[in-house]
Structure 1
């Protein structure tokens, strides 16, 4: 494998840091402004570039858009999440692909033997999928924000019931719902405290 020269890296300016981190918050209401299919595709076109273990990319994204599918999804949401999920301009369900290793020849072409390794070790396959799909979920939320949209990520839904309804073959396992759109009136609650570096960071 030939390594290309490393480019010089620029730091994100204050506006970019604000958009992605310091001023960004979870949205609870959304304006009545459509989110286009092109915008939703562009979210993944950003999120896909962030790193995963061995480039395995086990996350799968299902945009639940039709009124019929949205009504089915809402049945599986916890009561506090039903109204905002029904009203959001776009909704993504994030799931892990339990058969992600079938794509190893494409995403890791110089180590095709990994496909057989994961095929023969279900525990390793699922632990790898859980960790890396959760990592990708964080990238996904940042990609939503980078598109100038607000995200409302939630775990408050019956994932087993949803999977039985939407993924009957058992291959995909849902773990998060993300409402997406432009923030509406009262979308953002007051920001809760964050732990500072002295409480979290150490240097060994």
Structure 2
């Protein structure tokens, strides 16, 4: 892809390519392992993503043992089973439905912030919205580490939650394969909407 200079973007062109223009969702990976240190570095980069009242509901479960991988694969849709079984690392991105308990520490400027979330439905809705924001940053962080992400929504959410989050405190948001892209990792890039199809002024 030809890099286009853009004086309005602070990142240099190579960083823009790495994070956006040349990055793809990956569907196949090499067997090169992904270390805990790499994931920690990614998290420490992206933890500054904006969330309402700094609620930070995202939780990441690294599926490392063969037993846990086998359990997870059983909950994936047929098209995602082989990808999940073969990836060097798969993570379950979940949200903490009890995130409000951390608000006195995370949002001390408003000591009563947790009182906005006494009702479980309000907490779940806010957790999913803000967890999705964090997940998007997490995917970009994976790219920033020189890795590829393969996020998936095709799984049995009820079964996965019952298996991995039986206490109900967390709920799965997405499953993502992580690693170095392998042969045939990328589908052809799909068309994107143009600026004037998306942006209006009022």
TM range (shorter): over 0.9
Partner of 2:131: 133
**2:66 counterpart of 1:67:** yes
Structure 1 runs (4+) deviating above 3 angstroms are none
Partner of 1:56: 55
* Cα-Cα RMSD: 1.1
- Compute the displacement of 1:106 (Å): 1.3
TM normalised by structure 2 equals 0.93
Spell out the pairing of 1:88-167 with structure 2 (5 A cutoff).
88-119=87-118, 121-167=119-165
Distance 1:32 1:96 in 2: 29
Partner of 1:168: 166
Spell out the pairing of 1:173-184 with structure 2 (5 A cutoff).
173-184=171-182
Spell out the pairing of 1:32-51 with structure 2 (5 A cutoff).
32-51=31-50
Distance 2:138 2:17 in 1: 17
**Number of equivalent positions:** 194
Conserved 8 A contact 2:25-2:148: yes
- Compute the displacement of 1:159 (Å): 1.3
Distance 1:105 1:136 in 2: 20
